[in-house]
A and B are shown apart, each in its own frame.
Chain A
Amino acid sequence: GAGVSQSPSNKVTEKGKDVELRCDPISGHTALYWYRQSLGQGLEFLIYFQGNSAPDKSGLPSDRFSAERTGGSVSTLTIQRTQQEDSAVYLCASSLVVGGGYEQYFGPGTRLTVT
Chain B
Amino acid sequence: AQTVTQSQPEMSVQEAETVTLSCTYDTSESNYYLFWYKQPPSRQMILVIRQEAYKQQNATENRFSVNFQKAAKSFSLKISDSQLGDTAMYFCAFMKRGGSNYKLTFGKGTLLTVNP
Contacts and interface: CB of A to CB of B under 8 A. Distances in A.
Contacts of B107: 42
Interface stretch (A13-21, A65-73, A76-84, A100-108): A100-108
Interface residues on A, range: 20 to 34
B103 A106 contact: no
Interface residues on B, range: 20 to 34
Interface stretch (B18-26, B61-69, B73-81, B93-101): B93-101
A107 B44 contact: yes
A43 B102 contact: no
Contacts of B46: 106
A98 B102 CA distance: 6
A101 B44 contact: no
Given A91-B45, A101-B50, A106-B45, A42 B102 contact: no
A89 interface: yes
B101 A104 contact: no
A45 B37 CA distance: 15
Which of A45, A59, A91, A101 has the most chain B CB atoms inside 10 A of its CB?
A: A101
Contacts, number: 56
Main secondary structure of the interface of B (DSSP, over half): loop
Contacts of A31: 102
Nearest to B100: A56
B83 interface: no
B102 A48 contact: yes
A101 B109 contact: no
A111 B45 CA distance: 14
A99 interface: yes
B105 A45 contact: yes
Given A99-B102, A101-B50, A108 B42 contact: yes
A45 B104 contact: yes
A58 to B, nearest CB: 9
Contacts of A109: 43-44
Interface of A: 3, 31, 33, 35, 42-43, 45, 48, 56, 59, 89, 91, 93, 98-101, 103-109, 111
